[in-house]
Every structure is written in structure tokens, then in C-alpha cells.
Amino acid sequence: MMGLEEPNQAKLFYTDFHLESRVRENHPLRKIAKIIDFSFASDAVADCYGKNGNVSIPPTVILKLMFLLVFYNVRSERELMSTLPERLDWLWFIGFDLDSSIPGHSVLSKARARWGSGLFKLFFERIVFQCVEARLVDGKKIFMDASFIDANASNNSVIDMKSLKTQISERYKELESRLNELQEKESDRQYREMNNRYVSTTDPEAGIFGKGKSNLCYKTHRVVEERSEIITDVEITAGDVDEGQRLELLWKAHKKNTEIEAQTVVADSKYGTIKNYLFCAENNIQAHIPDLKTKGAKKKEKKAKNKIFPDTLFKYDIVTDTYICPGNNRLKRKSYHASRASVDYAAAKKDCASCDLRNQCTRNKDGRTIKRHLQQDTVNIMREKSQAYKSKQDIRKRQHLMERSFAKATRYGFDRARWRGLERVSIQEFLTCCVQNIQALIKQESPLKQAAAMALKQESYEILSYKHAMPNQIKSFFKNSLEFFANRFRYANSGLLLLS
């Protein structure tokens, strides 16, 4: 008999309803709740709350809500909070019930302002260490790269601070006071490179990058390890900060987060500076990084109509501390630059003036000069090593590995800033990296992987037990081999080799 639809009448009470049973067993949030500890948040931000007054939403709940925002790439906090009562899985995940009152969306922005990015950095570091403990991280070889994050501000908001028209306007005074506050706050961060001329009125902390049509953006600097492509460190800067300056900081942060010292660093030519090569040489790190100077010179050569002799054609004479040029003249020490830690060598003006090779050698009317770093020999060794086959292989691998990491992040909307200001963009990126690392942790936790891990364990156990049996087998193998060669030698000496 066909059933007919009954008029829908909303129930006042529900019996036999459990939120727990409404979330399927293999739901990703169930796996996340099982392996990730969010409860640390309450202790971590305890100092940000007073002893009296209104009771706040628990920090653990807010952290989980922020996590959901990025994990499901929800467009805004307003949308997240309006969707929350409709999603049983989200309610279950944050520990709410059907009749729990839903807080307003502003609790999230207030909590961010109160906590800063510290809690999210801590959350990221905890996840990284959890990955290390789950043996997902090898950490001996690390890959580095940077990518842009579009700022949450229009390019039209950029003004020229030096133009008179701007300075007359009322908004300029307001912006100037905001910038002064910002610079006072940032004074302890020496590496921050403020673009002092062109500034966005909406997001003054974003950097302007690009030739021709410039872009307002931030930059994320990531370290990814080789084994499971876990992001072991991340740092956010304004978009105009050069990634070549970040290598040392990133290497140290990787060591701090994973407690593993990386022995190989793989990066693109933007990291191939003298400073980075020397840092790697001092710390015994393999720098699989193409040389910035060589790449730049090749580009220039391609563009230039009349090519000039590269520095490599000038031979350094260690005895006389001079260079010998292709015209067989000597370039002597001319000046020392303490800031660059380098010495300039120059040919005599009259030598170059009368030289037949002048057109191919220099366009400087005073003659050719060559720069030499005080540790040039070390730099040369590092540059040579970066040309080795293994290094080139890693450099090729880096391109795919890093692009994969950033491509996965676009699922969580990493390429567009949700909020304004460096602190808030850092929060977004920490959460994105946490989500990516947690995805790797979940995969590791899946039953198939667990079975594979068990099989591997069993196999390694068998190998180990085989290892114990090895000494006797090796002994007998060598004994047999020695006997065989001794017999051959005996036969050869007695002229019986042919017969044998």
C-alpha cells in the first residue's frame, strides 16, 4: 500500500535522538577529533582573560570554529555561524547540542584580536611535532619556497606618500598616524621592509609587488620536508620581502619545530645568494640551490646585444692577490667594502684604454673591475656543488613538491587573505598549514595505511631477526669464497688452470 505524505508538524521534543549517532563512523571530523588535541587552547590563552565579568565562549570551541572555517573554506565567519545550527557534524565536532545557543560571529574576530597569532603558531607547532612522532617526517632534506597571498584590499587604495595631493588630504593624516603606530610596534622586527612611498590606505601592512601592474600582497614562506610533504615551518611577510633573506630563519625554525637538523636545503635560485651559501657551508648543510648570480648573468647575456666577458674568464692569482684578465694584464686591489665583505679589483686605466678586447670586456670608461668576496673560495665550492647531478635532481623535484603544497592550499583559500593585517594573515596561513598537515595525519591513521604499517613492522622485524642470523651466514660465505680463490690460485701456479 502506498504511503501518503502527512502534513508536516514540527515536534516540540525528540526522543531517541543522539547527535553522536548522526555522525558517520568514517567522517573526517570524527578522525580529526580522535587524533588532534584542541583542549590546549584554554591554558595557552588563560592570561588573555580576566577573573570577573561575563563568561566567554571556551577558547577550545573558538579554535575549533576557526579550524572549520578554513577546513571547509567557508567564505566568511558570518556564513560559518549561520550555517552552524544546520550542520549536525559541526555541532558534534565543537561539542554543541541541537539546543545549544549559537554565539554571534563577532566572537571569532574578538578572540583573534585578543589572542593574536601566538595561539595559532603554537597549534601549528604542535601538529608538526605530532607528525614527527607519527614518523611522517624525515626532516633531513627540506624544500623551501614562497608564494603570494593577495591582500584583502583594492589596488586602488594605494597612494603615493610623496605626492602633494595626497599630503593635503585629511585621510593622509589619519594614515600617517596609523603607520607611525605600526612602525613603533614593528621596531623589534629588523627584517620588515616597509615600502615607505606607496602604501595602501586599507591595509598598510601589505607589500606592493610587481613590475608594471603592481599587486598588493603578502608572502608565505614555507618549509616542506621530503618524506610525507609535511609543512615543518611557515612564515608570513609583506609581499615585497625577498625570500632569499629567509633561508637561515626557516632552517632554524624547522630545527626547533621538528628537533631534526636538516642536512640538505633545496630551493630555487632566489635563495642562491652568497650569504646563504656561506651559512650552509658554516653549518655543514648541502645547498642544492642554483646560483642567483649565474642565473642573473645568463638572463642579462641573453638580453644584451654585445656580450661582455664573464668573471670566470679572469683567473685569480693567490700569490700576488691579483686577477689576470683575458688581455693578459693584471687587475689589482682597488677598494674594500666592509658591508659586502668584498674587495674590488681593477685593471689600470691605461691598459684598458689601449686594449684590443676592450669592446668585449667593459663599457666602463675607467676600465674593468671584478668583485671578490673575502670567502670567495668557499662560495666557489658551494656553487660548484650546486651544479652536481644530485643537486640538479633535487632542484627539479622541488618544483613539483612545492607547487603541490601550494596547490593543495588553494582548496582552503590560502591565495586570498580573509582578513587585513600581517597578524591576521599569519593566523589564516597557520590554520591552512595545520589543515594540510592534519590531512597527512588522517591518511596515516586510515585502516589501510595502518595495515600497511603493520606489514612493514612485521617485515622489519623479520629483517632484524635475519640480521641476527647474518654473521654466521656472512662468515660461511666469505670462507667459501676464500677457499674458491685459493684453489684457483693454486691451480694457476701449477699450470692446471686450463684443466680446471
Tell me the CB-side half-sphere exposure of residue 369, using CA atoms within 13 A.
13
Among 151, 367, 373, 412, binds ligand SF4 (CB under 6 A): 367
395 near ligand SF4, rule: CB under 6 A: no
Measured from the Cβ of residue 385, the count of other Cβ atoms closer than 10 Å reads 17
Closer of 353 and 454 to ligand SF4 (Cβ)? 353
| Residue closest to 379 by CA, chosen among 340, 346, 347 | 340
Nearer Cβ to ligand SF4, position 136 or 347? 347
Binder of ligand SF4 out of 95, 103, 327, 413 (CB under 6 A): 327
CB 347 within 8 A of CB 330: yes
Q: Which helix (H) or strand (E) holds 473?
A: helix 447-493
Residue 408 touches ligand SF4, criterion: CB under 6 A:
no
How many other C-beta atoms can be found within 10 angstroms of the C-beta atom of residue 84?
A: 19
Shortest separation between residue 311's beta carbon and ligand SF4, angstroms: 11
Please provide the DSSP assignment of 224-243 as one string.
EETTT--EEEEEEEETTS-G
Q: CA 453, CA 459: separation in Å to the nearest integer?
A: 10
Asked whether position 297 contacts ligand SF4 by CB under 6 A, the answer is no
DSSP assignment string, 294-356? HHHHHHHHHH-SS----GGGSEEETTTTEEE-TTS-EEEEEEEETTTTEEEEEE-HHHHHT-T
Q: How far is 500 from 497, CA to CA, in rounded Å?
A: 5
Select 317 or 483, whichever has its Cβ closest to ligand SF4: 317
Q: Rounded to an integer, what distance in angstroms lies between the CA atom of residue 210 and that of residue 118?
A: 31
Nearest 5°: phi and psi at 234?
Answer: -145, 145
- Residue 351 touching ligand SF4 (CB under 6 A): yes
322 binds ligand SF4 (CB under 6 A): no
326 in contact with ligand SF4 (CB under 6 A) = yes
Q: Is 362 a binder of ligand SF4 (CB under 6 A)?
A: yes
Can you read off the three cell numbers belonging to residue 136? 611522517
Nearer of residues 246 and 368 to ligand SF4, judged by Cβ: 368
From the list 22-30, 101-109, 244-252, 344-352, the region that binds ligand SF4 by CB under 6 A is 344-352
- Cβ atoms within 10 A of the Cβ of 242, count? 14
Q: Looking at beta carbons only, is 63 or 331 nearer to ligand SF4?
A: 331
- Closest CB 363 distance from ligand SF4, rounded Å: 10
* Number of Cβ within a 10 Å radius of residue 212: 4
Q: Does residue 368 touch ligand SF4 according to CB under 6 A?
A: yes
Exactly one of 358, 408, 411, 420 binds ligand SF4 (CB under 6 A); which one? 358
Does 329 contact ligand SF4 by CB under 6 A? yes
State the minimum distance, in angstroms, from the CB of residue 359 to ligand SF4.
Answer: 9
Is residue 372 involved in binding ligand SF4 (CB under 6 A)?
no
Does 207 participate in binding ligand SF4 (rule CB under 6 A)?
Answer: no
* Contact flag: residue 260 with ligand SF4 (CB under 6 A): no
Q: What's the Cα-to-Cα distance from 455 to each of 297, 333, 350, 461, rounded to whole Å?
A: 53, 66, 77, 10
Q: Which is nearer to ligand SF4, 349 or 479 (CB)?
A: 349
Helix (H, G, I), strand (E, B) or coil at 39: coil
For ligand SF4, the binding residue among 127, 136, 352, 379 (CB under 6 A) is 352
353/456 with CB nearer ligand SF4: 353
Query: What is the binding site for ligand SF4 (CB under 6 A)?
Result: 325-327, 329, 347, 351-352, 355, 357-358, 361-362, 367-368
